[in-house]
Chain A
């Protein structure tokens, strides 16, 4: 049935009465909501300004240029009490990043191992893994941190009588002391490692090419380990075979020389790592279980060996399931590192807290803490979203 052009105006739908029109209503409610939120904020801010005025506390971030006046137990960059507050806060930020990165690496390793143990057909091994996971998951992290810190500080011997198992490594209630290489001749060793790395990558590519062209399978792992061993040996010899180390020695009241890992860092790292590892273990376990039995069977019936099945079929699919929640756990670990303030590790929260106590600028201080963690969280989330989209299984 044809429609005459002249009648097109008559085909417009009738308009609703304006207060029943859903679009009008939507706009109305949104205006109400926004006004409400703005109103609440205005009320809060007004009160805050008045209260701050009364207590003679200034606003603004200019206080960051004032001299800090407090010492910091450990840090990655040089700092003295004469430096300004913002310098102190950067030290705290670096400390947070340090413990977060180290924690994430070890939590991933321990968590993966425990997760795989949980899946072992060996009943005893699986039960031990379960005990670990259930014990650590059901006790608050703060309690675990207090516990580890107390164990280190109360149970380990004083620095004078530190445990010295071997090679200049000392364990005491102040922490952990290690020897460091002390001459440039150790660079030979480093160069050896680099050369080995490049060689092994080249070998891997060459073996892959051979396999594609002739079907022959050549092992990279065995020769690769041999190459590393030989290159490291040669590099060490090339540097003049150095054997001296800058070992820590107890003189006077503390250790001199070598590297020190403080008790606070040790306790925080231990608590964070073991706690987060228990969650990662569960994630790894469910990731591997998520790959259906049929995949194992189909790959097996093609004649693939167990290692080949894991490498080509199971691990790629389970990683897709494992990575998003694991990234979430990394985020949790980073946020949980804020508990450092309870055991005295100078992370960003601890240092900003001291700053707040000294300068009275509570709002600015808390804003700084939140801004730092928000940036960390958002960048990790963005990365995760990008990665997720990249590896998504192609479906119709």
Chain B
């Protein structure tokens, strides 16, 4: 079944548009002709074997990686080398990393208000109120004055999610958010992500958590060796994978 990405002209009303995106590391072709549309409020889950380029692709969306060919649009703005454009886009795109990347020398509260006060230029009092609200949303308001080194992995990742949310982004990117967590802490983070999805946030997640994908995803994207191999709704994706490579991957990952 052909996907619905035939039209080459990007729709600037969509959250994210990737058109014929290519990226090379030196001579190595890491992203090959990527075409992807993420609509407002849509939850896209990206999966694939390691080295498939899935992390590279979502890191291109907030310019942590640079693409060499093709076009990338975020909230209607094209992503180029223009620094001002990049900073404007990064305000609207939040990112949660595999290794949390909290700032260890700042308290949890200071981690959360750093972006709002210095990038969105919000008064400190207001920023603190917003921060406490999000800390309650991720269920750890009592940790506000602790330092990241004093928290467990699951707590740190929830703080990282709250930190991104304090910037009130329109899109949230997740780069394998639970891969570095001990098993008993994965659920608490996924719960937060599910709540976020239910509230209508546009999300792009790279993850191996297929249960989560089935619950939350609107579209599954399977990548292999730098290409998008298959792209469809979760029910179809898990029940009837069309491509051999997809079938192979699913059989490996769903066996336990």
A interface with B by C-beta (< 8 Å): 211-217, 292, 294-295, 297-305, 308, 312-313, 316-317, 320, 393-396
Contact = CB atoms under 8 A, between A and B. Distances in A.
Contact of A393 (B105, B119, B123, B167): B105
B90 A215 contact: no
A311 to B, nearest CB: 9
B99 interface: yes
A308 B149 CA distance: 23
Contacts of A292: 101
A393 B93 CA distance: 30
Contacts of B102: 298
B140 interface: no
A106 B103 CA distance: 32
Contact of A297 (B97, B105, B122, B149): B97
B150 A302 contact: no
Contact of A294 (B101, B119, B149): B101
A215 B126 CA distance: 9
Contacts of B93: 301
B87 A303 contact: yes
A217 B118 contact: yes
A295 B99 CA distance: 10
A304 B105 contact: no
30 contacts: A212-B117, A213-B124, A213-B125, A215-B120, A215-B127, A216-B121, A217-B121, A294-B97, A294-B99, A295-B103, A299-B103, A301-B64, A301-B90, A301-B95, A302-B115, A303-B90, A303-B115, A303-B119, A303-B120, A304-B115, A304-B118, A312-B103, A317-B103, A317-B104, A393-B147, A394-B147, A394-B149, A395-B149, A395-B150, A396-B149
B91 interface: yes
B114 A302 contact: yes
B163 interface: yes
A301 to B, nearest CB: 4
A2 B90 CA distance: 68
B134 to A, nearest CB: 14
Contact of B87 (A215, A299, A305): A305
Given A302-B115, A303-B87, A396-B150, A297 B101 contact: yes
B94 interface: yes
Given A215-B123, A298-B103, A300-B64, A312 B97 contact: no
Contact of A301 (B62, B117, B123, B126): B62
Given A298-B95, A303-B91, A394-B149, 17 more contacts: A211-B117, A211-B124, A212-B124, A292-B101, A298-B103, A299-B103, A301-B62, A303-B87, A303-B115, A303-B120, A303-B167, A304-B115, A304-B119, A313-B103, A393-B147, A394-B150, A396-B149
Contacts of B150: 394-396
Contacts of B147: 393-395
A212 B125 CA distance: 8
Contacts of A295: 101, 103
A295 B163 CA distance: 13
A276 B94 CA distance: 44
A298 B91 contact: no
Interface in B143-173: 147, 149-150, 160, 163-164, 167
A298 B120 contact: no
Contacts of A299: 103
Contacts of B125: 212-213
Contact of A312 (B118, B121, B123, B127): B118
A301 B94 contact: yes
A40 B160 CA distance: 63
A287 to B, nearest CB: 14
